[in-house]
């Protein structure tokens, strides 16, 4: 008879997120994970197969939460410019409020593990695609309501917003203050929602 697992795997994944987010994949040892989770090495291997398996579970959990948070913040009937500004400033505030300035675990994974880790590449790609889909829906509604020109390329615009989200986190991780990051938000939105595009 198989032995009953005596720990909460969800809690272990949450603890692992903190370790990988703070230290990165390469600098995180199995012993670090044992100490953070309170679960023995053998039990971690039995549950997740390897350090890679636990890293994948942590990335997936983080990505799901981040994407759900972004989607929730994009709901509502307010003008798209206002909705996106609120989202981007939330990213700014969360970034500068983090005492460890850890940035984004997805971005960290992309810079540390890609292109050599196909599993991480798949998780990162799906996360960015999901965020782009959420932003695209907002921009498509904006186009329908006349907040954007009829020929606005909402897919490209959404990709720009997602790129900005990741860029804000990288800049914040590098030490940029709120004033500097908020100015980037304002410039980005002025480009997306400029009224007289003939001047561009």
Residue 154 within any structural domain of the chain: yes
Domain count, the chain: 1
Q: What percent of the chain has pLDDT over 90?
A: 91
For the entire predicted model, the pTM comes to: 0.88
What pLDDT digit, counting tens, does each position of 154-188 carry? 999 999 999 999 999 999 999 999 999 999 999 99
Length of the chain in residues, anyone? Answer: 200
Q: For residue 48, tell me if it sits in a domain.
A: no
Q: Which two tokens stand for residue 200?
A: 């561009």
Residue 171 lies in a domain: yes
Distance CA 199, CA 115 (A): 39
Separation between Cα atoms, residue 67 and residue 130, nearest integer Å = 7
pLDDT in tens, 99-153: 899 999 999 999 999 999 999 999 999 999 999 999 999 999 999 999 999 999 9
User: Looking at the domain assignment, is residue 81 inside a domain?
Assistant: yes
**DSSP at 140:** H
C-alpha–C-alpha distance, residues 61 and 65, integer Å: 6
| Residue 69 is assigned to a structural domain of this protein | yes
145 domain-assigned:
yes
Please choose, from the candidates 158, 181, 155, the residue with its C-alpha nearest in 3D space to the C-alpha of residue 169.
Answer: 181
CATH of the domain at 66: 1.10.357.10
Given a cut of 50, whether residue 2 has pLDDT beyond it is no
Segments forming the whole domain that contains residue 96: 60-193
């Amino acid at each position: 008879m198989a032995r009953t697992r005596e720990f909460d795997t969800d809690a272990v994944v949450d603890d692992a997120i903190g370790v990988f987010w703070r230290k990165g994949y390469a600098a995180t040892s199995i012993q670090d994970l044992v100490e953070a989770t309170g679960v023995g090495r053998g039990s971690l291997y039995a549950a997740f197969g390897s350090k890679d398996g636990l890293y994948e579970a942590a990335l997936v959990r983080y990505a799901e939460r981040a994407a759900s948070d972004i989607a929730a913040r994009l709901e509502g009937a307010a003008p798209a410019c206002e909705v996106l500004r609120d989202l981007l400033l939330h990213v700014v505030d969360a970034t500068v409020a983090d005492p460890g300035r850890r940035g984004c675990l997805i971005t960290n994974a992309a810079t540390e593990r890609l292109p050599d880790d196909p599993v991480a590449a798949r998780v990162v790609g799906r996360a960015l695609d999901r965020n782009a889909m959420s932003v695209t829906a907002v921009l498509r509604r904006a186009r329908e309501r006349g907040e954007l020109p009829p020929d606005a390329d909402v897919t490209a615009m959404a990709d720009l917003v997602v790129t900005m989200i990741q860029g804000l986190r990288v800049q914040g991780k590098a030490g940029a203050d709120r004033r500097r990051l908020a100015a980037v938000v304002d410039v980005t939105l002025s480009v997306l929602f400029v009224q007289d595009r003939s001047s561009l």
